[in-house]
Amino acid sequence: GEIDKVPASQRGPWMTFLKSLATSKGDIASITAPPFILSSTSLTEYSKFWAELPDLFVAPSMVVDPEERALAVFRWFIATLKGQYTSRNEALGSEKKPLNPFLGEMFLGRWETDDEGTTMLVSEQVSHHPPVTAYATYNDVYGVELTGYNGQKASVSTTTLNIKQVGHAVYKITKFDESYYISLPSLHIEGLFYGAPYVELEGSTFIQSSSGYSFKIDYSGKGYFSGKKNTYKAKMFGPDSSSKPLYTFSGQWSGKSTVKDERAKSEKLFYDATEHTIVPLEIKPLEEQSPYETRKAWAKVAAAVSVMDYDTIHVEKSKIENEQRALRKQEKEEGREWTRRYFTLVDSDEGLKKLASGAGITADEKVWRFNRDDFESGPDKC
Ligand code: CLR
């Protein structure tokens, strides 16, 4: 049958879920989904996808030529997409509904690799409604740092769920005093009806370097540019702001893509996702984690999700939600706001506005800034 990806016992609830989705105006968090589509992973963990290939993450810092360096940044960016947007399908068979992080939830970890040393990850839920996750990931051996934040705006049109990402990322290379402003793609969820959801990226994103180089990336799912899924086309422009690209790129970000040098008219392989294996990040054992850390806080829910014990999922989730409600009530009574641990909402500075405008984007009025010293000297450093 058509919905045979849905376990027989959950077909009724799945249809109910789809119906409530259609009338939800996109507030996915508030809809109860059948257990088979729930993930035991919280959205705060998704910040890790930026640096699961530490070698590509630090590579730009070793490239002296600015044009080659921009290419290395772009290669790392393209490489992150597979983890960001296909890893649930690969590991779990379909896209899943992540756990909805509570305010103050943190996901902390590190990658330890022979060649790159330590790459740190600090991810914190800085807003619950609307959901916003802020993150920083950095490697001091090579002097690279990525900071950013992101939230989602969802809307529904008949059977597809459309997601617009709010936020951006900034990649910095200390040695060259260079920054790259990175905008985030919109996406939609396909395959919902069949109970086998997956992400398709759409539209365009931009990367603008302070060195003047820039990229425009166009995304498409199956059938638009070619018969293949997860395809992209991109153009790299030089600092002279000529409308003629220096390089053009095309292919699959989850597979192979090529780069064409528009001056030399030569084409070669740019990136092959099948040749790279992600490095799992290391996190503290549960006993050593603070109650605000993702895995610790959600441990009981996650265990219940893995055995599809719906009653326990509900009971344990409600405990967290009620606790959160009580905290918000208390804050309101005392006339204060929840203090974010490692990020502060600040006015967007001139440098960032200039970079964003280079990419044809108006920078947000306010941005979440990482307080690195607080983290380094605080109790949560891992
Ligand atoms: C979060 C930020 C990451 C990239 C990313 C990847 C997948 C997205 C996720 C973001 C946000 C939440 C998301 C998810 C895919 C599905 C899920 C849109 C943007 C929604 C909330 C779940 C829909 C429910 C069905 C699967 C049943 O860097």
Report ipTM (2 d.p.): 0.98
List the beta strands (DSSP E) in 238-308. Answer: 247-252, 256-261, 266-272
Dist. CA 154 → ligand 1 center (Å)? 10
Residue-wise pLDDT for 200-239, tens only, equals 999 999 999 999 999 999 999 876 667 789 999 999 999 9
Q: State how far the alpha carbon of 202 is from the alpha carbons of 49, 218, 325, 334, 363, in Å.
A: 19, 7, 36, 45, 21
Dist. CA 379 → ligand 1 center (Å)? 30
Atom of ligand 1 nearest to the CA of 43: 1
197 lines ligand 1 (CB under 6 A): yes
369 lines ligand 1 (CB under 6 A): no
135 lines ligand 1 (CB under 6 A): no
Tokens of 280: 């799992």
User: What secondary structure letter does DSSP report for 278?
Assistant: P
What is the predicted pLDDT for the residue at 3?
Answer: 63
Residue-wise pLDDT for 24-70, tens only, equals 887 888 888 898 999 999 999 999 999 999 999 999 999 999 999 99
Residue-wise pLDDT for 63-121, tens only, equals 999 999 999 999 999 999 999 999 999 999 999 999 999 999 999 999 999 999 999 99
38 lines ligand 1 (CB under 6 A): no
What is the predicted pLDDT for the residue at 382?
Answer: 81
84 lines ligand 1 (CB under 6 A): yes
> Distance (Å, rounded) from C-alpha 248 to C-alpha 262?
7
What is the predicted pLDDT for the residue at 235?
Answer: 98
Query: Residue 271: is it exposed, middle or buried by C-beta count within 10 angstroms (0-12/13-18/19+)?
Result: buried
pTM of the model: 0.96
Nearest-CA residue for atom 7 of ligand 1:
85
**158 pLDDT more than 80:** no
Residue 2 confidence class, pLDDT cut points 50, 70, 90: low
Contact 123, 134 (CB under 8 A): yes
Cα dihedral value 147, 152, 153, 159, nearest 10: 140
> Distance (Å, rounded) from C-alpha 153 to C-alpha 35?
23
Nearest-CA residue for atom 8 of ligand 1:
85
Dist. CA 346 → ligand 1 center (Å)? 26
What is the predicted pLDDT for the residue at 32?
Answer: 84
199 lines ligand 1 (CB under 6 A): yes
Dist. CA 23 → ligand 1 center (Å)? 19
Atom of ligand 1 nearest to the CA of 197: 26
Dist. CA 26 → ligand 1 center (Å)? 12
What is the predicted pLDDT for the residue at 239?
Answer: 94
Residue-wise pLDDT for 275-323, tens only, equals 999 999 999 999 999 999 999 999 999 999 999 999 999 999 999 999 9
What is the predicted pLDDT for the residue at 223?
Answer: 63
Mean pLDDT for all residues in the chain: 94
Dist. CA 189 → ligand 1 center (Å)? 9
Atom of ligand 1 nearest to the CA of 85: 6
Atom of ligand 1 nearest to the CA of 165: 19
Average pLDDT (12-25) is 89
**253 pLDDT more than 60:** yes
Residue-wise pLDDT for 318-340, tens only, equals 999 999 999 999 999 999 999 99
